[in-house]
Structure 1
Amino acid sequence: MRLDKFLKVSRLIKRRTLAKEVADNGRILVNGKVAKSSSKVAISDVLEITFGNKKVIVKITDLMDSTKKEDAKNMYEIISEE
Protein backbone atom coordinates (compact mmCIF):
# COMPACT_ATOMS: atom_id res chain seq x y z
CA MET A 1 0.00 0.00 0.00
CA ARG A 2 1.21 3.52 -0.74
CA LEU A 3 2.33 5.61 2.23
CA ASP A 4 -0.07 8.50 1.54
CA LYS A 5 -3.05 6.14 1.27
CA PHE A 6 -2.10 4.35 4.52
CA LEU A 7 -1.88 7.67 6.39
CA LYS A 8 -5.33 8.71 5.14
CA VAL A 9 -7.09 5.36 5.69
CA SER A 10 -5.57 4.97 9.18
CA ARG A 11 -6.59 8.57 9.93
CA LEU A 12 -3.10 9.55 11.12
CA ILE A 13 -3.47 12.41 8.60
CA LYS A 14 -6.98 13.48 7.55
CA ARG A 15 -6.52 14.08 3.81
CA ARG A 16 -4.45 12.20 1.25
CA THR A 17 -3.25 15.43 -0.38
CA LEU A 18 -1.96 16.63 3.00
CA ALA A 19 -0.30 13.23 3.60
CA LYS A 20 1.39 13.54 0.19
CA GLU A 21 2.64 17.04 0.98
CA VAL A 22 4.02 16.02 4.41
CA ALA A 23 5.79 12.97 2.96
CA ASP A 24 7.25 14.83 -0.01
CA ASN A 25 8.70 17.45 2.35
CA GLY A 26 10.79 14.72 4.03
CA ARG A 27 8.92 14.75 7.36
CA ILE A 28 8.13 11.02 7.35
CA LEU A 29 10.63 8.23 7.91
CA VAL A 30 9.83 4.58 7.15
CA ASN A 31 12.16 2.23 9.01
CA GLY A 32 14.62 5.10 9.54
CA LYS A 33 14.75 6.26 5.89
CA VAL A 34 13.12 9.36 4.39
CA ALA A 35 10.05 8.27 2.43
CA LYS A 36 8.10 9.80 -0.44
CA SER A 37 4.30 9.61 -0.68
CA SER A 38 4.53 6.81 -3.25
CA SER A 39 6.71 4.60 -1.01
CA LYS A 40 5.25 1.18 -0.30
CA VAL A 41 4.54 0.28 3.34
CA ALA A 42 3.97 -3.16 4.82
CA ILE A 43 2.89 -4.70 8.11
CA SER A 44 5.55 -4.25 10.86
CA ASP A 45 7.09 -1.13 9.23
CA VAL A 46 7.85 1.68 11.68
CA LEU A 47 6.78 5.21 10.69
CA GLU A 48 8.21 8.35 12.27
CA ILE A 49 6.01 11.36 11.47
CA THR A 50 6.98 14.94 12.34
CA PHE A 51 4.11 17.43 12.78
CA GLY A 52 5.83 20.78 13.46
CA ASN A 53 7.47 20.24 16.86
CA LYS A 54 5.53 17.01 17.61
CA LYS A 55 6.95 13.62 16.65
CA VAL A 56 4.86 10.43 16.52
CA ILE A 57 6.34 6.95 16.04
CA VAL A 58 3.94 4.16 15.06
CA LYS A 59 4.22 0.54 13.97
CA ILE A 60 1.91 -0.71 11.20
CA THR A 61 -0.17 -3.67 12.41
CA ASP A 62 -2.71 -4.02 9.59
CA LEU A 63 -3.38 -2.79 6.04
CA MET A 64 -6.92 -2.16 4.80
CA ASP A 65 -8.18 -0.36 1.68
CA SER A 66 -10.94 1.38 3.63
CA THR A 67 -12.05 1.49 7.26
CA LYS A 68 -14.66 2.82 9.58
CA LYS A 69 -13.52 5.39 12.11
CA GLU A 70 -13.41 2.93 15.02
CA ASP A 71 -11.44 0.34 12.99
CA ALA A 72 -8.76 2.81 11.86
CA LYS A 73 -6.93 2.66 15.20
CA ASN A 74 -6.38 -1.09 14.72
CA MET A 75 -4.12 -0.38 11.73
CA TYR A 76 -1.24 0.93 13.85
CA GLU A 77 0.27 0.81 17.33
CA ILE A 78 1.71 4.00 18.83
CA ILE A 79 5.27 3.46 20.04
CA SER A 80 5.93 7.00 21.26
CA GLU A 81 4.74 10.61 21.08
CA GLU A 82 7.01 13.56 21.82
Structure 2
Amino acid sequence: MRLDKFLKVSRLIKRRTLAKEVADQGRISINGQPAKASSVVKVGDELTVRFGQKIVTVKINEIRETTKKENAVDMYSIVKEEKVETQGLF
Protein backbone atom coordinates (compact mmCIF):
# COMPACT_ATOMS: atom_id res chain seq x y z
CA MET A 1 0.00 0.00 0.00
CA ARG A 2 1.19 3.53 -0.72
CA LEU A 3 2.51 5.47 2.27
CA ASP A 4 0.06 8.36 1.87
CA LYS A 5 -2.91 6.00 1.73
CA PHE A 6 -1.72 4.06 4.79
CA LEU A 7 -1.37 7.27 6.79
CA LYS A 8 -4.92 8.27 5.87
CA VAL A 9 -6.56 4.85 6.44
CA SER A 10 -4.75 4.42 9.78
CA ARG A 11 -5.71 7.99 10.67
CA LEU A 12 -2.15 8.94 11.65
CA ILE A 13 -2.77 11.87 9.29
CA LYS A 14 -6.36 12.85 8.58
CA ARG A 15 -6.20 13.65 4.85
CA ARG A 16 -4.30 11.96 2.05
CA THR A 17 -3.27 15.28 0.50
CA LEU A 18 -1.78 16.36 3.82
CA ALA A 19 0.03 13.01 4.10
CA LYS A 20 1.48 13.60 0.63
CA GLU A 21 2.66 17.11 1.58
CA VAL A 22 4.31 15.86 4.78
CA ALA A 23 6.12 13.08 2.86
CA ASP A 24 7.22 15.47 0.11
CA GLN A 25 8.72 17.77 2.76
CA GLY A 26 10.98 14.90 3.89
CA ARG A 27 9.35 14.54 7.32
CA ILE A 28 8.67 10.79 7.01
CA SER A 29 11.06 7.86 6.88
CA ILE A 30 10.46 4.13 6.47
CA ASN A 31 12.97 1.90 8.30
CA GLY A 32 15.36 4.86 8.51
CA GLN A 33 15.17 5.73 4.80
CA PRO A 34 13.56 8.96 3.53
CA ALA A 35 10.14 8.19 2.06
CA LYS A 36 7.97 9.67 -0.66
CA ALA A 37 4.16 9.58 -0.67
CA SER A 38 4.30 6.83 -3.30
CA SER A 39 6.63 4.60 -1.24
CA VAL A 40 5.22 1.14 -0.54
CA VAL A 41 4.74 0.13 3.09
CA LYS A 42 4.29 -3.39 4.41
CA VAL A 43 3.64 -5.13 7.72
CA GLY A 44 6.67 -4.85 10.02
CA ASP A 45 7.93 -1.53 8.62
CA GLU A 46 8.77 1.25 11.06
CA LEU A 47 7.58 4.74 10.14
CA THR A 48 9.08 7.85 11.70
CA VAL A 49 6.91 10.93 11.25
CA ARG A 50 7.74 14.47 12.35
CA PHE A 51 4.67 16.40 13.51
CA GLY A 52 5.77 19.95 14.34
CA GLN A 53 7.44 19.67 17.76
CA LYS A 54 7.08 15.89 18.05
CA ILE A 55 8.59 12.83 16.37
CA VAL A 56 6.51 9.65 16.42
CA THR A 57 7.83 6.21 15.49
CA VAL A 58 5.23 3.53 14.75
CA LYS A 59 5.42 -0.10 13.66
CA ILE A 60 2.91 -1.30 11.06
CA ASN A 61 0.91 -4.25 12.42
CA GLU A 62 -1.55 -4.73 9.57
CA ILE A 63 -2.63 -3.17 6.31
CA ARG A 64 -6.28 -2.68 5.38
CA GLU A 65 -7.81 -0.90 2.42
CA THR A 66 -10.51 0.63 4.61
CA THR A 67 -11.30 0.57 8.31
CA LYS A 68 -13.60 2.13 10.84
CA LYS A 69 -12.27 4.90 13.05
CA GLU A 70 -12.27 2.75 16.19
CA ASN A 71 -10.30 -0.05 14.45
CA ALA A 72 -7.72 2.21 12.77
CA VAL A 73 -5.47 2.22 15.84
CA ASP A 74 -5.02 -1.58 15.46
CA MET A 75 -3.12 -1.00 12.20
CA TYR A 76 -0.02 0.27 14.02
CA SER A 77 1.62 0.41 17.43
CA ILE A 78 3.58 3.36 18.75
CA VAL A 79 7.23 2.46 19.33
CA LYS A 80 8.27 5.84 20.72
CA GLU A 81 7.25 9.45 20.90
CA GLU A 82 9.72 12.24 21.50
CA LYS A 83 9.50 16.00 21.77
CA VAL A 84 11.81 18.07 19.60
CA GLU A 85 13.53 20.90 21.43
CA THR A 86 13.50 24.10 19.43
CA GLN A 87 16.30 26.60 19.59
CA GLY A 88 15.18 30.00 20.83
CA LEU A 89 15.93 33.05 18.76
CA PHE A 90 16.89 35.09 21.79
Q: TM-score, normalised by structure 1?
A: 0.99
Deviation at 1:43, TM superposition (A): 0.1
- The structure that has the greater radius of gyration is 2
Count of aligned pairs between the two proteins: 82
Task: Give me the identity figure in percent.
Answer: 65
> How far off its partner does 1:74 sit?
0.4
Within-5 A mapping of 1:48-67: 48-67=48-67
Counterpart-to-counterpart distance in 1, 2:12 and 2:41 = 14
Q: Shift of the alpha carbon at 1:53? A: 1.5
RMSD of equivalent CA atoms: 0.4
TM alignment of 1:3-82, pairs within 5 A? 3-82=3-82
Moved over 6 A (4+): none
Gaps of 5+ in 2: 83-90
Q: Normalised by the size of structure 2, how large is the TM-score? A: 0.90
Give 1:52 shift.
1.2
Unaligned runs of 5+ in 1: none
